[in-house]
Amino acid sequence: MTKRSGRSRFIFLCLAAAVILFTVFMLIPTMNIFRMSLFVRSAYSTTEEFVWLQNFSRLMADSNFIRSMQNTILLIVVVTVVTFGLALIFAAILSREKIKGQNFFRIIFYIPNILSVVVISAIFSAIYDTNNGTLNSLLSLFKGETVAVLWKGEGMVMVSLIIAMVWQAIGYYMVMYMASMASVPQSLYESASLDGAGRLTQFFQITLPLIWTNIRTTLTFFIISTINMAFLFVKAMTSGGPNGASEVALSYMYKQAYTNSTYGYGMAIGVMVFLFSFGLSALVNVVTKREPLEF
């Protein structure tokens, strides 16, 4: 009885620490955001006025917020598809093909992930520079005349952000998928080859199904993290410009809460982003659910 009581006390203490930390740093702040979204107040003032759902009604008519959500969805879809597609292709090539210096390529691909967003933004800002940037210099060299493309102009800024975000993330997921692919028995590929299956068929019929659990987990994680990463890249590279063309939901929330002194309105945007993230996570989990395969 004493042994069982001691074990129960130990489990309680371990769980209590986690529950306290989660409550203090996650649950209470989240509930406070919901509460503050119902008030009109500034970020640094204790004066507040209860307005119920007026902030949310204002959101539905705010074209800038709608545009920022459209940009957020665009980044989530395009960056996720391109990053995961390329990560799987590179992982399959480096795992299945006999290429010299595989570890070297792993390191090279992984380096962008260990760099901070500020450093990556500085690198790509230099590449995109209209006058002396690498891209325009190369285009000028091949075209034989001066090229001054506005890579961070209204028409190209989202494409520029997508390229930077894909470059930052692709190596990390490539390494993860290479680790998963390494656990697939080579005998399965040998049997498939004897049956006449080509490399492409083996990839879709053997590799993808057997690493699907890993893909599903990383997909959910990446989609949600893209919402946060989009804010960091926008803040460091474009500040939402030009003319709001690269504004995303979190950067617009930040401006409303801390720049325009409409803190309650900013928190209402935060609530919408929270609900959007939660709903998107649930949708991805449902859509990607498959029966696990064993080998």
- Whether residue 13 lies inside any domain: the answer is no
> Taking 80 as the threshold, does the pLDDT of residue 189 lie above it?
yes
* CA atoms within 13 Å, Cβ hemisphere of 295: 13
- Alpha-carbon Rg for the chain, nearest whole angstrom, is 24
- What's the structural domain count of the chain? 1
**Residue 3 domain-assigned (yes or no):** no
Residue 139 in domain: yes
pLDDT at 249 over 90: yes
Decide if pLDDT at 126 tops 60.
yes
Q: Which pLDDT belongs to residue 41?
A: 81
Closest CA to 78 of 203, 226, 212: 226
241 is in which domain, residue-wise?
Answer: 49-287
pLDDT of residue 157: 94
φ/ψ (deg, to 5) at 150: -85, 85
Tokens of 161: 């952000």
Cβ atoms of residues 184 and 206 within 8 Å = yes
pLDDT given for residue 295 in this prediction: 57
282 domain-assigned: yes
Structure tokens at 160: 């520029």
The SS3 call for residue 173 is: helix
Q: Tell me, yes or no, whether 33 lies in a domain.
A: no
Q: Please choose, from the candidates 61, 38, 40, the residue with its C-alpha nearest in 3D space to the C-alpha of residue 49.
A: 40
Residue 8: inside a domain, yes or no?
no
Q: How many helices (H) and strands (E) does the chain have?
A: 14, 2
Q: Which residues contact 60 (CB under 8 A, 6 or more apart)?
A: none
Please report which confidence band the pLDDT of residue 293 belongs to, taking 50, 70 and 90 as the band edges: low
Neighbours of 171 (CB within 10 A): 23
Residue 167 has what pLDDT?
A: 94
pLDDT at 128: 93
pLDDT at position 252 is 94
Span 202-230, average pLDDT: 90
- CA 203, 209, 213, 218 dihedral sign is positive
Tell me the pTM. 0.89
Is 22 part of a structural domain of the chain? no
Mean per-residue pLDDT of the chain: 88
Question: How far from chain centre, in Å, is Cα 238?
Answer: 18
Distance between CA atoms of 216 and 219, rounded to whole angstroms? 5
pLDDT tens for residues 109-125?
A: 888 888 899 999 999 99
> What CA–CA distance (Å, rounded) separates 71 from 215?
25
| CA torsion, ordered 171, 177, 178, 179, to nearest 10 deg | 120
Whether residue 152 lies inside any domain: the answer is yes
The total of other beta-carbon atoms located within 10 Å of residue 195's CB is 9
Q: pLDDT higher for 155 or 72?
A: 72
Question: What percentage of residues in the chain have a pLDDT greater than 70?
Answer: 97
Cis peptide before 242 (omega within 30 of 0): yes
What pLDDT shows up at residue 276?
A: 94
CATH number of the domain at 67, please: 1.10.3720.10
pLDDT at 51: 87
